């Protein structure tokens, strides 16, 4: 704090300190409602979401990168290897830190310092919420996780999914602005790729136009590149692009995500190489009708499963091809976040949620893949579509 009471942001913070403080305050409210004393978080997305701590180490499995201990009433603690103190002081708003020394020589010692932090919070006999449940996967070495549980025998460990997603599923204005920015990058990359694609262009070349455009516009990289075309490639779900040239008559699927500071997109469009037959246009038209029916239904107060059933009925009534058991999903720091637009998700749509809406219709043995996936923002009184690529007509790429 300054003499005037203003909060100083760390020099390399991804968002202002007040943004992180608001996230923690919402988590604390939910923790009190759910009877949880401490959140023990070490999944990258959750650590960054609540602390702002930034490092490129998360891909390493040598030693734990960090953890956040978020108490229901007290200030949070950041547990980090002392190797990362410079990162923490320059990116995280949290000043209460527990340092883990000799991280390279004694990597399994991390658990001792997590236990020490929980004891400092007075919660060694309390209820500890962990990253267990829907769309959660803690970054633990299993030996560290068991050491923490064994070192706190009087504590109760419980899933914190309702608290975590009760925060992360509702995006702030700053998060929505970030997603608008990355969706724009993704759209521009896809349009550029389509403009440069012709018969003989390889899937890898299509991917290169997207990633190159994203980098030019400020993306950190691609989170995934599901690009495929032609009968040999249609069955390869969520495939990386290969060095196969697209051919006349192929359906080209471009289903990609770009990333900026962990926030990710998931956008998909298709194009036909050459003039599309009427059957292909009928398949695509069914996808568009399903997509638009779901967008019309996606409003605050509606269950996710009811939106799915509306989209599914359009495809079922079409009577040809196959569709999948998910037609959309929340999105933000993870590509897939709750709620899931599926037949079983009872969760209620709320203002502030972001969704990637994606009805699929496909026949992998004959005519190909048809999908439109666009990112939308649920508002108090309706819907804002962040994606901007025209979708009403099946795109045809000149051969």
Burial class (CB in 10 A: 0-12, 13-18, 19+), 49: buried
Whether 96 shows a pLDDT value over 90: the answer reads yes
SS3 375: strand
Beta bridge partners of 97: 78
CA neighbor of 138 nearest in space, from 160, 170, 154: 160
17-168: which CATH number, 3.30.43.10, 3.40.350.10, 2.60.40.10, 3.90.320.10?
A: 3.40.350.10
CA distance 393 to 192: 18
pLDDT score at 22: 98
The pLDDT confidence band at residue 4, using thresholds 50, 70 and 90, is very low
Which has the closest alpha carbon to 206: 220, 189, 222, 221?
Answer: 189
Q: How would CATH label the architecture of 173-397?
A: Alpha-Beta Complex (3.90)
Which residues 6+ apart lie within 8 Å of 379 measured at CB?
351
> pLDDT value at position 6?
56
Judge whether residue 3 has pLDDT over 90.
no
Helix (H, G, I), strand (E, B) or coil at 213: helix
**Please, are residues 234 and 369 in contact by the beta-carbon 8 Å criterion?**
yes
Cα Rg of the chain (Å, integer): 23
The alpha carbon dihedral of 79, 81, 86, 87 has a sign of negative
Confidence label for 1 from pLDDT (cuts 50, 70 and 90): very low
Where does 160-293 show beta strands of DSSP type E?
221-229, 251-260, 263-264, 267-273
pLDDT band at 251 (very low <50, low <70, confident <90, very high): very high
Among candidates 172, 184, 390, which has minimal Cα distance to 270?
390
Total Cβ atoms within 10 A of residue 366: 10
The rounded distance, in Å, linking the Cα atoms of 121 and 115 is 10
What global pTM score does this model have? 0.95
Determine which of 99-108, 158-167, 240-249, 356-365 has the lowest per-residue pLDDT on average.
99-108
N residues, the chain = 399
Q: By percentage, how much of the chain surpasses pLDDT 70?
A: 98
pLDDT, tens digit (0-9, with 9 covering 90-100), for 148-205: 999 999 999 999 999 999 999 999 999 999 999 999 999 999 999 999 999 999 999 9
Cα distances from 312 to residues 273, 317, 334, 364, in angstroms, run 28, 9, 25, 19
- Position 324 pLDDT exceeds 70: yes
* pLDDT tens-digit map of 363-387: 999 999 999 999 999 999 999 999 9
- Residue 241 CA to residue 228 CA, distance in Å, equals 6
pLDDT at 286: 98
The per-residue pLDDT of the chain, averaged, comes to: 96
Q: DSSP letters of 9-34? A: PPTT-SS-HHHHHHHHHHHHHHHHHH
- Under 8 Å between Cβ of 306 and 297: yes
Please tell me the predicted confidence (pLDDT) of residue 7: 67
**6-61 pLDDT per residue, tens:** 568 999 999 999 999 999 999 999 999 999 999 999 999 999 999 999 999 999 99
Cβ atoms of residues 139 and 42 within 8 Å: yes
Give the pLDDT of residue 130: 98
Q: Is the dihedral of CA 117, 120, 125, 127 positive or negative?
A: negative
Buried b (16+ CB within 10 A) or exposed e, 289-304: bbbbbbbebbbbeeeb
Half-sphere exposure of 397 (CA within 13 A, CB side): 28
Q: Residues of CATH 3.40.350.10 domain(s) within the chain?
A: 17-168
Instruction: State the span(s) of the chain assigned CATH 3.90.230.10.
Output: 173-397
Percent of the chain whose predicted confidence (pLDDT) is above 90: 96
Q: How many CA atoms lie within 13 A of 114 on its CB side?
A: 28
């Amino acid at each position: 704090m300054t003499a005037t009471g203003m909060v100083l942001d760390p020099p390399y913070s991804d968002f202002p300190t007040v943004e992180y403080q608001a996230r923690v305050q919402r988590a604390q409210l939910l923790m009190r409602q759910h009877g949880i004393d401490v959140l023990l978080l070490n999944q990258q997305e959750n650590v960054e979401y609540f602390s702002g701590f930034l490092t490129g180490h998360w891909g390493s499995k040598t030693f734990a990168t960090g953890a956040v201990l978020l108490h229901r009433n007290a200030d949070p603690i950041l547990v980090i290897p002392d190797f990362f103190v410079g990162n923490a002081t320059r990116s995280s708003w949290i000043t209460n830190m527990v340092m883990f020394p000799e991280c390279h020589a004694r990597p399994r010692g991390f658990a001792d310092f997590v236990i020490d932090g929980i004891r400092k919070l007075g919660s060694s006999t309390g209820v500890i919420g962990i990253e267990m449940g829907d769309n959660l996967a803690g970054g633990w070495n299993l030996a560290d996780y068991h050491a923490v549980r064994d070192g706190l025998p009087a504590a109760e460990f419980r899933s914190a999914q309702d608290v975590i997603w009760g925060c992360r599923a509702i995006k702030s204005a700053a998060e929505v602005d970030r997603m608008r920015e990355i969706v724009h990058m993704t759209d521009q990359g896809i349009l550029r790729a389509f403009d440069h694609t012709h018969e003989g262009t390889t899937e890898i070349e299509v991917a290169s136009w997207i990633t190159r455009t994203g980098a030019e516009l400020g993306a950190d990289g691609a989170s995934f590149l599901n690009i495929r075309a032609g009968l040999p490639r249609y069955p390869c779900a969520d495939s990386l692009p290969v060095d196969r040239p697209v051919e006349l008559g192929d359906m080209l699927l471009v289903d990609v995500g770009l990333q900026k500071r962990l926030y990710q997109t998931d956008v998909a469009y298709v194009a036909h190489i050459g003039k599309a037959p009427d059957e292909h246009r009928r398949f695509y038209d069914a996808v568009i009708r399903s997509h638009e029916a779901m967008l019309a239904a996606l409003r605050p107060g509606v269950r996710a499963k009811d939106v799915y059933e509306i989209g599914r009925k359009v495809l079922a009534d079409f009577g040809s091809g196959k569709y999948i058991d998910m037609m959309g999903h929340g999105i933000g720091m993870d590509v897939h976040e709750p709620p899931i637009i599926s037949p079983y998700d009872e969760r209620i749509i709320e203002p502030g949620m972001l969704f990637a809406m994606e009805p699929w219709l496909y026949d992998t043995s004959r005519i190909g893949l048809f999908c439109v996936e666009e990112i939308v923002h649920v508002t108090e009184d309706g819907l804002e579509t962040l994606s901007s690529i025209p979708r009403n007509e099946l795109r045809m790429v000149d051969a």
